[in-house]
Structure 1
Amino acid sequence: MIDKSLFRFDGVRQRMGLLALLSLVQALSIVGQAHGLARGLVEIWKLHAVSTLIGPSLEFLAFYAVRHLCDVAKQRISSKYGKYVAGQIRPQLQHKIFRLGPQALASRGTGSTVTMLIDGLDQVKSYIEILLPKMTDMMLISLVILIAVWWQDWVSGLVLLLMYPLIIFFMVILGLAARDRSNKQYAQFNILNTKFVDSILGLPTLKMLGVDKEYEGEIYSVSERFRKRTIDVLKVAMTSTFALDWFTTLGIAIMAVFLGLRLVNGTMPLFPAMFALIMAPDYFLPVRQFGDNYHATLDGKNALHDIMSFIDSPETPQDTETEWDGWKADSELKLEDVDFAYPEGSRPQGDDESQTVASHSVAMNAVEQQREGEDDTKPDNSDNSESDSKTVAKSGSKAKGHRRRGKKGAEPDEADAEGKVVKQQVATQPDALHHVSMDFNGYGKIAVIGKSGAGKSTLVNLLAGFNIPHAGSIELDGHKLDSFNVEAWQRHISYIPQTPYIFSGSIADNIRFYVNDASLEDVKAAAHEAGLDEWLTELADGLDTQIGEGNRGISGGQAQRIALARVLLDKSREVLLFDEPTAHLDIETEYDLKKTLLPIMENHLVVLATHRLHWLANVDQVLVLDEGKIVESGTPKELIGAGGPLDHLIDEMGGNQIDQYLD
């Protein structure tokens, strides 16, 4: 029942020891309480004076108070420790998310990640609050009561002892069945969340493409499967509860029959019989409570296992040895023939390979279903994995960038000594980036333009250090790098995706994302420059206003401005990476946000991935991507009107009325 990963957290053994001590005291109090009650009932049965009830009554009340004080203490200890563990997990999750980057989240699924970050931590907290005290109660309270009853009447003790394994047996059998169904329910719950969240985020795109109605049936079918699995879990839970109650009642009844017969025959005094009968329900109570709560804690256990598996997932080692003191006016960055391909089955879905997954994957899936003869970059799923692998195999001649690091020039298939083709063990998809070469010098604004799926987000994620190139060379101010997963580089960049990460806390805490010890005056100044003043004046607590995890309670524009305030607060980050920062904002919000963004971009190296053509009037250089390749580069004035790929892209996107860009 206890997940082994729980013992990785500080203080769990100490808390369990303290809870065990309280359970032991509580068990002794239950015995004392029953002793006082049995004494009082015997005095009443013997028609003694009322004054003889004072002692038993005080004994009962004293132990009753101690019993419930122990119960309150255990609840507070377990609740406080549950919050402590959740507080320990949260920063580990945040660190892991930012280390793995958008690719890992895209392959996992937006809804599943949201569930893990928000509901998952709450479930872990409840799991600890319920599990630890119930475990110690079951181990100690029943044992102490059994010893006490056996001391008074060994026959009653023998009945209790024989019934206990029977209850445990049925609890284990039904518990295993419940665990199996609960695991399936949790998996289906993640699927439902992923489908639902992605559909909601992609609803504008679905409506624009006219396929929003088609997804009603899919959401219904996923919801129906989840409903059926939930009913299965409830059936087992109710059966388990019935079995525990029935065997408990049977055990008490058997013991009562033996006690009654011996009392009638005059072979047993009244006090031991009353004491044993009073203690019997409390003897079975811990195992019944544990069985009842077992089903409630399964979700928490699954959530903890899911979270710890995610935290333990492998990641590319970071380069911590390269020394670099930041981007300056004379800095230079060169990329030559850089290739990157996603591992087979992990290519993110949807509009550009990473952050757009949340809003466009559902829409793109719908469009894919209506087309025939699509290319091999369609989203991967379990139902068409075989056909996808065949498609990828056919396109192997185009995928020249599938190389292991250190084997530049090697093809995916290598020949052995006899000339036979030997397949590489690591399968990859066709290149998301192919022979990418760029040269950045000093401060400037570079727009990365391209159609959906051209590789814009993949390129930004590569520059952020999330995607590790398979081939090519990178040179940063004379430093030869294998990738951008370099501590010195990442310390000087700010990465702002379409949907910035907002954690549970105050607005001020969220702005202090990069600088935890920033003063309130600096936070206010950053919020002012980011254009948050008007919104903050509407809030009673201003910067101290609590906002929810996953952007709960705030709009997309407000989340973007908080992300900008983070950039403004940390003056040491001279490289700004934007991945479609205004993709899901309405026109008015985008216009206001753009006015805020442009001054921030000055005296920085800015790489802006976007499909909004109005940005062309405000950038110094344009990189046009198509199928992972840079097909055109230059200044907007050089490219617009030259009849090249940018002009064709502008015509396709309906933006041919852009004479102002040539001014």
Structure 2
Amino acid sequence: MLALALLSILQGAAISGQAAGLTWALVRIWHRRPMSALLLPALAFLVAFTVRQLIEVAKQRMATSYADGAVRQLRPQVQEKVFRLGPAALTQRGTGSAVTMLIDGLDEVKTYIQTVLPKMMDMTFIPLITLVLIWSQSPLSGIILLCMLPLLFFFLAILGLAARDRSNKQYAQFRKLNTRFVDTILGLPTLKMLGISEEYESEIESTSDRFRKRTMSVIRVALTSTFALDFFTTLAIAMMAVFLGNRLIDGTADLFPSLLALILAPDYFLPIRQFGDDYHATLDGKNALTDMQDLLSQPEPKQDDRLDWDGWGEDSQLTVRGLNFTYPTKPQADAVVPAGKAASSSKNPAASKEGEQEASEPIEPALTDLGFTLKGYSKVAVIGRSGAGKSTLVQLLAGFNAPSSGSIELDGRSMGHFNAPSWQRHIAYIPQDPYIFSGSIADNIRFYAQEADDSAIAQAATQAGLDDWLGVLPEGLGTQIGEGHRGISGGQAQRISLARVLLDSTREILLFDEPTAHLDIETEYDLKQTLLPIMEGHLVIFATHRLHWLADADQVIMLDQGRIAAQGAPKDLIGQGGPLDQLIERMGGNQIAGYLD
């Protein structure tokens, strides 16, 4: 910053020298001096002009270097913050918004820093240096320019505030457009399956049109600001020219100081005009930087490092009493929070469209007064209608969110929440849509266990039921999948996520968040045959709305509007005329009782 300030001061001196050299040459031409008398003024002008341009290049390089360093520091901070906040906070913020912030947003911040910093230094020092020189040569001109400056800044501030307000709205609309577009693309197979893809096409078109209108509103204000700056600059210079011309005609002023003041006047206003133009051009970067600062200041889920726990065993017990959770109500420009459901996957906009509430509105508790006990190696089915809170509960158990209140006891040890390293080291979370990275199948399987060798990966792939598929692939585990490579089905993606889990034998607790929600019944049946052996010797918590899983569950927790409506062994609940029977009847699964016989 100090170096930029010094360069701006030197550039102000060079501008003054350039104007003085040009004035000197013009005055000598006016007095019809010989060409030899013009060499020294011309040389002074060329030297000052060259120094001015070299300083401008040096400032740009320095500002670019500073901006690169700032972005290099900011990028890992933002990325690490996103990982620490977890998937629930990311979903609330909006997938598209987060992607845009991490990719385009950082580039816009770089442009903002490398553009605005030099212009601010120029606006601070160059007008001051040129004004001193003008005042020394023509006090009247100095008074005119000095009086015009507050008026110029006044209009610059008024129009800048208007532009900032419209730009904030435009950026909010941009975030919403990004989120809607990315989520729709990721959920396109589901939308096609449900036959509602055309509805979302019209929604994207409508959001794009609103973004276009807001962009045009910002451009109108920017053009008005540019016109105002140019108008008052031209007015001030014209007033100077009239006054100086009259004084020259009257013989009360000399040519050299009058011409020098007139030549310096545009350079006096130039930094202010450039700052005004660049301010509007870099508002997206300023908004992106503000967005990142808000993200970095967002409270993180508290970690409970006090828990000393060796892992889940056959005699382990987890007891939860009075557990409550409410989603944050902080307004988000583009986030939509599903009522009564945990951060349902943003990859499926069709699933979250119904029952959405704007994040700025009050939100009802997602989970209320939950109490249950889990023991040893068992399979626990968490069931309920859509929006009942199944995903919310599973994500609380994974430590993605912290409960608002309640008590948690693990093997006789008290926990405030599930975001404890000693707990999370022993859990594996399998979502609805496991992410497939661009790379080989082997790389995708070993993603969380980079030290795993080829034989361990092959064994995990076999246990996950991938052998038949791998057998028809020419390159086997070396086959490239993910973005830009071979496409895979939902069932294959789920099996890869299972193989990831199987590589780490220390994960005794498996959390499934409706992993078969988007699979057809035949694929789900095949996957189920793979899952059931894997579930043995683990505590399995399986959120699902597919009733056939009840036949394999040791315990059922039924949720209804965030509360436990029924819990216990399936055979003790089915056929008793209770809430579970009512749910089974509504979902057309009356035959489930036969599976339990």
- Scaled by the length of structure 1, what TM-score is found? 0.70
Post-superposition shift, 1:121?
3.9
The answer for the alignment partner of 1:148 in structure 2 is 133
Question: Does 1:453 find its partner at 2:438?
Answer: no
Q: Distance in 2 between matches of 1:597 and 1:124?
A: 46
Say which of 261, 276, 280 aligns to 2:261.
276
Once residues 607 and 581 of structure 1 are traced to their aligned partners in structure 2, the CA distance between those partners, rounded to angstroms, is 12
User: How far apart, in 1, do the equivalents of 2:15 and 2:542 lie?
Assistant: 68
Alignment of structure 1 residues 126-145 onto 2, 5 Å: 126-145=111-130
Q: Does 1:252 align with 2:237?
A: yes
The number of aligned residues is: 577
Displacement, 1:182? 2.3
The answer for the alignment partner of 1:579 in structure 2 is 513
Q: What is residue 214 of structure 2 aligned with on the other side?
A: 229
Between 1:564-573 and 1:253-262, the stretch displaced more is 564-573
Q: For residues 568-593 of structure 1, give each alpha carbon's deviation from its aligned partner in whole angstroms, at most 9, with x where no partner exists.
A: 77665443323234544688998998
Q: Distance in 2 between matches of 1:156 and 1:511?
A: 75
RMSD: 5.0
Deviation at 1:332, TM superposition (A): 1.1
Cα distance, 1:244 vs structure 2: 0.8
Shift of 1:173: 1.4
Q: Mind listing any 5+ residue stretches in structure 2 that lack a counterpart? A: none
Q: What percent identity do the matched residue pairs reach? A: 53
Alpha carbons of structure 1 residues 522 and 213: separation in structure 2 relative to 1, 3 Å: same
Deviation at 1:242, TM superposition (A): 0.7
One-letter amino acid of the counterpart of residue 154, structure 1: P
The structural deviation recorded for 1:131 is 2.6
The answer to whether the aligner puts 1:625 opposite 2:558 as a matched pair is yes
Q: Deviations over 1:434-465 (max 9, x none)?
A: 544232314x6544344322322122122123
User: Which residue of 29, 35, 47 corresponds with 1:48?
Assistant: 35
18 and 84 in structure 1: CA distance in 2 versus 1, 3 angstrom threshold? farther
Q: Residues 175-254 of structure 1 correspond to what in structure 2 (within 5 A)? A: 175-206=160-191, 208-209=193-194, 213=198, 219=204, 221-254=206-239
Kindly tell me: are residues 130 and 66 of structure 1, through their superposed partners in 2, closer, same or farther at Cα, counting changes over 3 Å? closer
User: What's the offset of the Cα at 1:652?
Assistant: 6.0
1:236 Cα deviation from its structure 2 partner: 1.2
Q: What SS does the corresponding residue of 1:356 show, helix, strand or coil?
A: coil
Q: Distance in 2 between matches of 1:74 and 1:17?
A: 11
Displacement, 1:656?
A: 8.4
Go from structure 1 to structure 2 and tell me whether the alpha carbon gap of 1:567 and 1:144 turns closer, same or farther (over 3 Å shift): farther
Is the CA contact (8 Å cut-off) linking 2:14 and 2:49 kept in structure 1? no
Query: Do the aligned partners of 1:29 and 1:67 also contact (CA within 8 Å) in 2?
Result: no
1:388-537 matches, within 5 Å, as: 429=364, 432=367, 434-442=369-377, 446-469=380-403, 473-499=407-433
Aligned counterpart in structure 1 of residue 319 of structure 2, from 332, 335, 338: 335
Structure 2 vs 1, CA of residues 589 and 157 (structure 1 numbering), >3 Å: closer, same or farther?
Answer: farther
Secondary structure of 2:357's counterpart equals coil
CA distance in 2, matches of 1:195, 1:465: 27
TM-score (norm 2): 0.76
Which deviations, in whole Å up to 9, do the C-alpha atoms of 1:146-197 show, x marking residues without a partner?
A: 2233344434333332222221111111112222222333334444445555
Deviates more, 1:241-250 or 1:304-313: 304-313
Q: Partners of 1:505 and 1:276 in 2: how far apart?
A: 66
* Alpha-carbon distance between aligned partners in 2 of 1:486 and 1:254, rounded to the nearest angstrom: 72
Cα distance between partner residues in 2 of 1:511 and 1:176: 52
Secondary structure of 2:35 counterpart: coil
1:334 maps to a residue whose letter is L
Q: Closer, same or farther in 2 for the Cα pair 1:84/1:114, shift >3 Å?
A: closer
The answer on 1:73 being equivalent to 2:61 is yes
The answer to whether the 8 Å contact 1:355/1:498 transfers is no
Q: Deviations over 1:188-240 (max 9, x none)?
A: 44444455555555555555555555556655554444433333222211100
Q: The residue matched to 1:451 in structure 2 has which SS?
A: coil
Q: Quote the Cα distance in structure 1 between the aligned partners of 2:446 and 2:119.
A: 40
Gaps of 5+ in 1: 1-15, 367-377, 390-427
Secondary structure of residue in 1 paired with 2:317: strand
Distance in 1, Cα, partners of 2:270 & 2:448:
51
Q: Distance in 1 between matches of 2:299 and 2:173?
A: 25
Which residue identity does 1:319 align to in structure 2?
D
Distance (whole Å) between structure 2 residues aligned to residue 350 and residue 473 of structure 1: 25
Q: Which amino acid aligns with 1:56?
A: A
Q: 1:440 to 1:31 in 2, by over 3 A?
A: farther
* 2:346 aligned counterpart, secondary structure: helix
Residue number in structure 1 paired with 2:6:
21
Paired with 2:547 and 2:131, the residues of 1 have a C-alpha distance of 78
Distance 1:176 1:504 in 2: 44
In structure 2, the CA distance between the partners of 1:273 and 1:452, relative to structure 1 (3 Å rule), is same
**Partners in 2 of 1:308 and 1:502 — Cα distance?**
30
Q: 2:346 aligns with which of 358, 373, 383?
A: 358
